[in-house]
Amino acid sequence: MPVITEIADLKRLYRRRVPKMFYDYCESGSWTEQTFRENCSDFSKLYLRQRVAMDMTGRSTKSRMIGQDVAMPVALAPVGMTGMQHADGEILAARAAARFGVPYCLSTMSICSIEDVAENTDKPFWMQVYTLKDDDYMKRLFDRAKAAKCSAAVITVDLQILGQRHKDLKNGLSAPPKLTPKSVANMMTKVPWGLEMLQTKRRFFGNIVGHAKGVNDPSSLTTWTAQSFDQALDWDRIREFRRMWDGPLIIKGIIDPRDALEACNVGADAIVVSNHGGRQLDGALSSIRALAPIMDAVGDRIEVHLDSGVRSGQDVLKAVAMGAKGCWIGRAYIYGLGAMGEAGVTRALEVIHKELDTSMALCGRTQLDTVDRDILMIPKGFSGDWED
Ligand SMILES: Cc1cc2nc3c(=O)[nH]c(=O)nc-3n(C[C@H](O)[C@H](O)[C@H](O)COP(=O)(O)O)c2cc1C
């Protein structure tokens, strides 16, 4: 067993184990990948203030996200095709999250279906929904989430249209993978991944095939996806979704203060400041830079979470210090899952937890609710000094 001390260790193992097509799917941003890169690099522009000789005993990273107790304020973000990174990936990630005491959010575009994840785990999870035109499908999706006892719905609002990722087009990304000479040659070097995949029946989009009208086999899925994402989405439509779901609601994919205010008006319980991990609008601001203006705009009207670029407990601490109630991680746990399955997701959470706990202590704080902007040195103009 290799010694894993940081998320980058898991990424190295993940790269070796998973076919290139799925590694590239995860490890890319749209177009020039500027936003994808800056999501991470902007965190390192914020400095932490070290304090000494302050009693650091009795520490806790426990917190709450949308009223739910969490072992640390970190949720596993919805990631499409997680079940292609490792056989039964969604179930394994949900189990690791439940054991660790953090929320897991299942993607609409998952391989394991809502029902399958619910049957194979013992704690409620959150359900992410894309905003599709098909009203029947949407109502059924919310009903299915309710029947599966999901404890929150997450509406992703930043994907009415798909940002282009060059590698996915070049690799001919699909689930299950298309067998071309190139993809077969690559898969032959990933034997453990392939053997596990052969042993599972979960290889298609479980929430769509057999659920969406006219999608009974994977080949009709591409046409359905292209036709179904709703380019006409507006806040009135989001209000309709609010009426379809009476539980806790989170709106994911906000990067502008004006949109954050709109989200407050539809009766959401939380927003996620996110640019989809740099996969949508290339050239958009990193999430950590976008956070402060959004916090200033919404005040305490709504709970604010952040994702995109979080790779360490220090990143979580910085986001919390800037006012986020919690962070979501995407790639950080996918690296773990691809590297080592459920144990790898657990390891990713342990790494982040230790970093968060130790860094909080070195900043002279013992409880997360006392962490504020005082522990940070924020460069002038960090959140932008823009022309009107
Ligand atoms: C491979 C991949 C697939 C994703 N699929 C979805 C999805 O189906 N639904 C969604 O709301 N967000 C999706 N996201 C975005 C994540 O939920 C999250 O916003 C992003 O990963 C955060 O950035 P990070 O990976 O830098 O932590 C996906 C991200 C990745 C990397």
What is the Å distance from ligand 1's center to 328 Cα?
9
Is 125 touching ligand 1 by the criterion CB < 6 Å? no
Quick: pLDDT tens for 188-211. Answer: 999 999 999 999 999 989 999 888
Burial label for 200, CB within 10 Å (0-12, 13-18, 19+), is middle
pLDDT digits over 312-362, tens only? Answer: 999 999 999 999 999 999 999 999 999 999 999 999 999 999 999 999 999
276 lines ligand 1 (CB under 6 A): yes
Is 86 among the catalytic positions? no
Which atom number of ligand 1 is nearest to the Cα of residue 331? 25
Distance of alpha carbon 42 from alpha carbon 198, whole angstroms: 41
CA 358 to mean position of chain CA atoms: 24
Ligand 1, atom 4, residue with closest C-alpha: 79
Q: Where are the domains of the chain?
A: 7-377
Q: Is the pLDDT of residue 58 over 90?
A: yes
In angstroms, how far is CA 280 from the centroid of its own chain?
Answer: 14
Distance 76 CA to ligand 1 centre (A): 10
Residue among 93, 97, 47 at smallest CA distance from 72: 97
Q: Whose CA is nearest to atom 12 of ligand 1?
A: 78
What is the CATH number that goes with domain 7-377? 3.20.20.70
In sequence order, the β-bridge partners of residue 251 are 155, 271
- The 10s digit of each residue's pLDDT in 161-174 is 999 999 999 998 88
